[in-house]
């Protein structure tokens, strides 16, 4: 595992030609008012519109149309009824929403979103050594890193325009927040359908994405996937012992927890000692999501629908059917998305993302707490 973790950290640094080791690290409990930009990489949890610009014609048409974006007012390319965690984080930092990198004529003065829905941590050519099929994953982490590198070079080039201005790149990153992920979940998602958990566990070392080279970095872990309608439907079991007290699948959650444990260990044992001048925080999406489920009623959700998709055509306990997903003919959105945690069985509602953002960035699930945000309800 250590060699895989080191490889990813090294490849990120080489790709960006940046150094986080010089200069003052942000105070772990200091002010976030000096964050003037956010640079984000990841998948559909964070994508604010890149996939709809990049996807082949005819693919992923549903997210271009209502009911996606229905709470926001119109579809934006986000895989939700409205805003995402990255949007609420930007608001909390007093910054505008991040524009997608592939958007035309957009402002990138306060950061860029490189995340692409469906993206994987591993490159398609290396994916699972040919053992598993990924339906769409051309925009892997390395592709996003190349975009990042190209953006920084073109934005902070010398007067001659043929070489990057390293001083101004470092200066910009010192006042920026870099968010890496969540990414790696799709590597597992593509593999788990048709494979056992024990087979897919072999992929864990290869999808740990650790570091971007800035001096303020947040690396989220994976969600408790055994609580998602997509898996609760596809991996349904007749054995009550396969479910925990919250109604989630034990084996899948143990699998996600194992991934997160290795990621946290790599951050603690490799990244922080290697880059002591950088503030590297782990965002605990796993336990914050479980906390959300546990307190769903208190947080304004319908506790009885906490594991049921708002938008779908599956009916039944989870309202999820992979053949008729949200946006497809025959599928429909619920009347009150704000009462639901899951939007389409895979992604969360705006209300759930808001709650998650508060739990993570304002609460106890950012380790260490490198942001100092105003209290939120």
For the annotated catalytic residues, the residue numbers are: 44, 344, 347
Across-strand partners of 113? 40, 100
Closest CA to 7 of 15, 223, 146, 191: 15
Q: Which residues, in sequence order, are CB contacts of 44 under 8 Å at separation 6+?
A: 51, 79, 115, 117, 118, 346, 347
Residue 64, burial from CB neighbour count under 10 angstroms (0-12, 13-18, 19+): middle
In this structure, are residues 83 and 72 in contact, taking their beta carbons and an 8 Å threshold?
yes
Q: Which residues, in sequence order, are CB contacts of 64 under 8 Å at separation 6+?
A: 52, 75, 77
Q: Token pair 């055509």 is at which residue?
A: 313
- What is the phi/psi pair of residue 10, to 5°? -65, -45
Q: How far is CA 54 from CA 49, 58, 123, 159, 258, in A?
A: 9, 11, 16, 31, 32
């Amino acid at each position: 595992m250590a060699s895989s973790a080191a490889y990813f950290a090294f490849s990120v640094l080489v790709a960006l030609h940046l150094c986080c080791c010089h200069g003052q690290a942000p105070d772990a409990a200091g002010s976030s008012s000096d964050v003037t930009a956010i640079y984000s990489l990841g998948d559909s949890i964070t994508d604010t519109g890149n996939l709809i610009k990049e996807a082949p014609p005819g693919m992923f048409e549903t997210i271009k149309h209502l009911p996606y974006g229905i709470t926001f007012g119109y579809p934006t390319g986000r895989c939700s009824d409205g805003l995402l965690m990255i949007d609420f984080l930007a608001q909390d930092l007093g910054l505008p929403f991040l524009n997608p990198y592939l958007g035309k004529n957009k402002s990138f003065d306060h950061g860029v979103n490189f995340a692409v829905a469906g993206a994987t941590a591993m490159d398609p050519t290396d994916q699972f050594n040919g053992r598993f099929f990924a339906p769409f994953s051309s925009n892997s982490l390395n592709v996003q890193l190349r975009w990042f590198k190209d953006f920084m070079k073109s934005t902070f080039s010398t007067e001659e325009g043929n070489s990057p201005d390293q001083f101004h790149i470092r200066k910009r990153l010192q006042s920026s927040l870099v968010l890496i992920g969540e990414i790696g979940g799709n590597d597992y998602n593509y593999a788990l359908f048709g494979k056992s958990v024990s087979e897919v566990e072999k992929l864990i070392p290869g999808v740990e994405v650790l570091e971007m080279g800035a001096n303020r970095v947040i690396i989220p872990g994976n969600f408790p996937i055994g609580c998602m309608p997509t898996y609760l439907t596809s991996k349904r079991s007749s054995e009550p012992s396969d479910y925990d007290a919250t109604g989630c699948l034990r084996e899948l959650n143990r699998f996600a927890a194992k991934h997160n444990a290795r990621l946290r260990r790599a951050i603690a044992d490799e990244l922080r000692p290697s880059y002591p001048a950088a503030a590297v925080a782990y965002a605990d999406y796993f336990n914050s999501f479980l906390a959300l489920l546990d307190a769903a009623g208190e947080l304004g959700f319908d506790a009885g629908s906490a594991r049921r998709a708002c938008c779908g055509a599956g009916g039944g306990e989870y309202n999820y059917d992979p053949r008729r997903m949200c946006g497809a003919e025959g599928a429909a959105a619920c009347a009150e998305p704000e009462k639901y945690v899951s939007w389409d069985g895979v992604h969360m509602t705006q209300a759930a993302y808001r709650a998650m953002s508060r739990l993570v960035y304002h609460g106890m699930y950012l380790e260490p707490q490198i942001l100092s945000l105003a209290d939120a309800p």
